[in-house]
Amino acid sequence: MTSYWKQKKEKIMFRLEQLTLQKRLVIAYVLIMLLPSLLISLYIFRGLTGNTVQELQRNNEYALEIEQINIRNNIETMKRASERTFIETQVITYLAQPDLMSVWDLIELDRISLQNILRIQYNNPSIERIRLYTSNPKTNEMLPVLYYESRVKQDPWYSAVMEADKDDVWIFSRSTRELIQSRPGLEEDFKPKISLYQQKFAGGMHVGISQVDMLMTNFFPNTFSPLQDDQSQMIVFDPEGEIYRNPANGFLDRFGVSDDILIKQFALINSDRGGKGSFKFNVGNIPFLGVYSYIEPLDVYMLKVSSLKAVYDGVNQTRNLIILANAVLLVILALATYFMNSVILKKLHVLTDSMKKVRQGDFGFDINIRGGGEVGDLAHHFRKMLRKINELIADAVNKQAASKEAELATLKNQIDSHFLYNTLENIKMMAEINDQREISNALTSLGGMMRYNMRWTSEYVRLRDELNHISNYIHIANIRFDDRIRLVTDISDWDMNQELLKMSLQPVVENSIKHGLGDKEMTIAIRTETIGETMLITVTDDGMGISADYVQELNRRILRGGTPNGEPDKRDTAEKGNGIGLANVHSRIQMHFGKEYGLQVDSEQGAYTCVTIRIPYLILNGGLANENIADRG
């Protein structure tokens, strides 16, 4: 599949290359203007669509807040009604009394206390029914308020109320079983209701249950209102996940949004109980927006579903009209550009002919194009290019001659170095003949150092080769300092093949000897440590050390590349050096390996000095089979 698209791309590019510059300019102009115009239009209208949807969402949230205010008011109304049923002293006494009451007491109870309960119901038109259920067998039922609990023990809500103890229990029901069947056909009331149940206690003992009913149409007035817009509908999810909505509102049915679809969509976002939010979903090709809010006392959700089709259709229609207007305008501008380019490109043909002369080797002519503008600038620079070409040809001839002279000088240097090596070998042989072993060994070390210094076939060497060079250097230094310098290495055979820049360690060791030796013996220890993909090489001496203040100054100089302002420090003390050698090593490491690598100095005066070199962990093996090769090139 990748090769197919690659071939298609190559064909398109080939066809574009076959077009004239004029046509390519027009195509480029159209693409440059049309594509950004389309993208900007799409971006703007996408934002407009988002803003419109957000505005619709805010309106739906406001509608839910209004409905919640109504719900909270109805909750308070039902709670107050339930509490007032038990304020009557005679009712409490009657439910808790151990003996049967007299007929006159029952008449007095019905005339005053139970009638007060009925007045609560009559004074609150939204309340459908108030009932008390007594658990005391010594009482009598007094309809339509007082009933025995035995009549409702088989109802599903009874066990939930008993388990809730003193908590409120809210029950949603689509129908209600009639306790007293006055005539056939009235066994069940099919009006959806919400009921509040509370246990009643006297002296800490259960004496009954209160029930306050309210029709759904009264409890959720806006949800079941007959005045609804035709692009949205409000519904209720009870704690069991069942849906209650106004059947007279045909919005959801008209768009084919069934209760099962709403339950599935709502289950995707309703993982935790509580909160509020929104979600989008599609039914067929029609998009919808759902805004929901949780009602904690009832453990239910209010959901308002709105159609986004009208929103998207209006925005898309406006977007398409603007895009079409942009496209027509671009076509007109493209045609105008085509004819303007035809005039401009006439001068380009003159430049083309001039370039053909240059290709044939003719550089001694001028082009007859003057004036400003892009083509005039191009002609001006073309003339300057002809002069520059003539200058470069002359420079190339001069550089070729200089290169020959450099080759001769290099050959001479090679001859001189071979002469010097041979001379050292002869002196070494003379020392061995005269049994001067120390002189012979010193000449061997000096010769090794000279060969190492003069062989620069590459910037990179093995750590093994650099250590051999350091060993030769210390051997020669010990001639001057009476063998007071000792070199110790703690490096594995594998790390000996670590790649590093040539002459990275000698300036460090040289600094240790120059500023740390003093009048006593000194040990220089070289160790390696690998951390991830980084190699740390530490050069530690037990010499005179450096003060803490100067360690900071020296590290700053190393980072700056030497002493302040690039001038050498002329103070020559045992503690202070100019740091140029260490700064050069640091700069070379960062130049070849990156800014995260380099060199750092740590020291304690009178104790030690430690220089840590951080470089990439790279082992040279495999490709360098000959151990005598000291570089990777």
Please, which pLDDT band fits residue 481 given cuts at 50, 70 and 90?
confident
State residue 18's pLDDT score. Answer: 65
The mean pLDDT value for 195-220 works out to 88
State residue 370's pLDDT score. Answer: 64
State residue 567's pLDDT score. Answer: 45
Q: Would you tell me how many other CB atoms lie within 10 Å of the CB of residue 236?
A: 24
Return phi, psi of residue 524, to 5°. Answer: -110, 120
| Cα–Cα–Cα angle for 61, 66, 71, rounded to 5 degrees | 115
- Could you tell me which residues are beta bridge partners of residue 210? 132, 198
Q: Which residues contact 514 (CB under 8 A, 6 or more apart)?
A: 577
The mean pLDDT value for 303-316 works out to 84
Q: Which residues contact 357 (CB under 8 A, 6 or more apart)?
A: 365
Task: Answer whether residue 53 shows pLDDT above 90.
Answer: no
The mean pLDDT value for 560-571 works out to 49
Of 259-268, 320-329, 620-629, give the lowest mean pLDDT range.
Answer: 620-629
3-state secondary structure 534-557: EEEEEEEECCCCCCHHHHHHHHHH
CA-to-CA distance for 490 and 475, rounded, in angstroms? 19
State residue 630's pLDDT score. Answer: 38
State residue 563's pLDDT score. Answer: 45
Structure tokens at 484: 């007071």
CA-to-CA distance for 87 and 91, rounded, in angstroms? 8
CA 199 → CA 162, 166, 238, distances in Å?
Answer: 7, 6, 22
Structure tokens at 142: 């007094």
Task: Answer whether residue 632 shows pLDDT above 50.
Answer: no
Helices (H) and strands (E) counted in the chain, each on its own, are: 16, 19
Burial of 586 (0-12, 13-18, 19+ CB in 10 A): buried
Residue-wise pLDDT tens digits, 75-123: 999 998 888 877 766 677 777 777 776 666 667 677 667 787 888 888 8
Q: Identify the DSSP state of 22.
A: H
Q: Identify the DSSP state of 569.
A: P
Q: Which residues contact 89 (CB under 8 A, 6 or more apart)?
A: none
Q: Identify which has the larger pLDDT, 433 or 249.
A: 249
Q: Identify the DSSP state of 526.
A: E
Residue-wise pLDDT tens digits, 361-409: 777 677 776 666 666 777 777 778 877 887 777 777 766 665 555 454 5
The mean pLDDT value for 424-428 works out to 65
State residue 254's pLDDT score. Answer: 86
Burial of 168 (0-12, 13-18, 19+ CB in 10 A): middle
The mean pLDDT value for 340-358 works out to 71
CA 633 → CA 64, 417, 500, 618, distances in Å?
Answer: 78, 22, 13, 15
Q: Which residues contact 631 (CB under 8 A, 6 or more apart)?
A: 457, 458, 459, 460, 461, 502
Structure tokens at 624: 């360098």
The mean pLDDT value for 245-260 works out to 86
The mean pLDDT value for 284-301 works out to 88
State residue 178's pLDDT score. Answer: 75
Question: Which segments of 363-482 does DSSP mark as H helices, in order?
Answer: 373-433, 437-454, 463-480
Tokens 């239910």 label which residue? 300
CA-to-CA distance for 537 and 509, rounded, in angstroms? 12
Structure tokens at 605: 């005066």
The mean pLDDT value for 59-68 works out to 90
Return phi, psi of residue 502, to 5°. Answer: -65, 145
Q: Would you tell me how many other CB atoms lie within 10 Å of the CB of residue 49?
A: 17
The mean pLDDT value for 425-446 works out to 69
Q: Are strands 485-490 and 522-531 parallel, antiparallel or unpaired?
A: parallel
Please, which pLDDT band fits residue 236 given cuts at 50, 70 and 90?
very high
Question: Which segments of 191-308 does DSSP mark as H helices, in order?
Answer: 216-219, 251-254, 259-269
Task: Answer whether residue 157 shows pLDDT above 70.
Answer: yes
Q: Would you tell me how many other CB atoms lie within 10 Å of the CB of residue 379?
A: 22
Residue-wise pLDDT tens digits, 493-522: 899 999 998 888 988 998 898 888 888 899
Assess contact for 585 and 599: CB atoms under 8 A. yes
The mean pLDDT value for 62-87 works out to 88
Task: Answer whether residue 136 shows pLDDT above 70.
Answer: yes
CA-to-CA distance for 268 and 602, rounded, in angstroms? 61
CA-to-CA distance for 470 and 159, rounded, in angstroms? 93
State residue 90's pLDDT score. Answer: 67
Please, which pLDDT band fits residue 170 given cuts at 50, 70 and 90?
very high
Average pLDDT of the chain?
Answer: 78
Task: Answer whether residue 627 shows pLDDT above 80.
Answer: no
Q: What percent of the chain has pLDDT over 70?
A: 76
CA-to-CA distance for 11 and 204, rounded, in angstroms? 92
Q: Identify which has the larger pLDDT, 185 or 188.
A: 188
CA-to-CA distance for 596 and 616, rounded, in angstroms? 10
HSE at residue 489, side-chain half, CA atoms within 13 A, is 15
CA-to-CA distance for 267 and 260, rounded, in angstroms? 11
Please, which pLDDT band fits residue 537 given cuts at 50, 70 and 90?
very high
Q: Identify which has the larger pLDDT, 41 or 626.
A: 41
Q: Are strands 146-148 and 127-134 parallel, antiparallel or unpaired?
A: parallel
User: With left for phi above 0 and alpha for psi between -120 and 50, is residue 554 left, alpha or beta?
Assistant: alpha
CA-to-CA distance for 529 and 494, rounded, in angstroms? 12
The mean pLDDT value for 417-433 works out to 63
Q: Which residues contact 222 (CB under 8 A, 6 or more apart)?
A: 63, 66, 67, 70, 234
Closest of 267, 266, 273, 320 to residue 288, by C-alpha: 266
- Could you tell me which residues are beta bridge partners of residue 604? 608
Residue 588 corresponds to which amino acid?
R
Task: Answer whether residue 613 shows pLDDT above 90.
Answer: yes
CA-to-CA distance for 529 and 495, rounded, in angstroms? 9
Q: Identify which has the larger pLDDT, 62 or 17.
A: 62
User: With left for phi above 0 and alpha for psi between -120 and 50, is residue 284 left, alpha or beta?
Assistant: left
Tokens 């390996």 label which residue? 593
Query: Edge to edge, what strands does the sheet with 146-148 contain?
Result: 146-148, 127-134, 205-215, 193-202, 169-173
Q: Identify which has the larger pLDDT, 439 or 299.
A: 299
Of 163-172, 335-344, 610-619, give the lowest mean pLDDT range.
Answer: 335-344
Burial of 450 (0-12, 13-18, 19+ CB in 10 A): middle
Residue-wise pLDDT tens digits, 8-46: 777 777 776 666 666 666 777 667 766 777 777 677 767
Q: What percent of the chain has pLDDT over 90?
A: 17
CA-to-CA distance for 610 and 485, rounded, in angstroms? 16
State residue 540's pLDDT score. Answer: 94
The mean pLDDT value for 315-343 works out to 75
The mean pLDDT value for 319-347 works out to 73
Assess contact for 351 and 378: CB atoms under 8 A. yes
Closest of 602, 623, 621 to residue 612, by C-alpha: 602
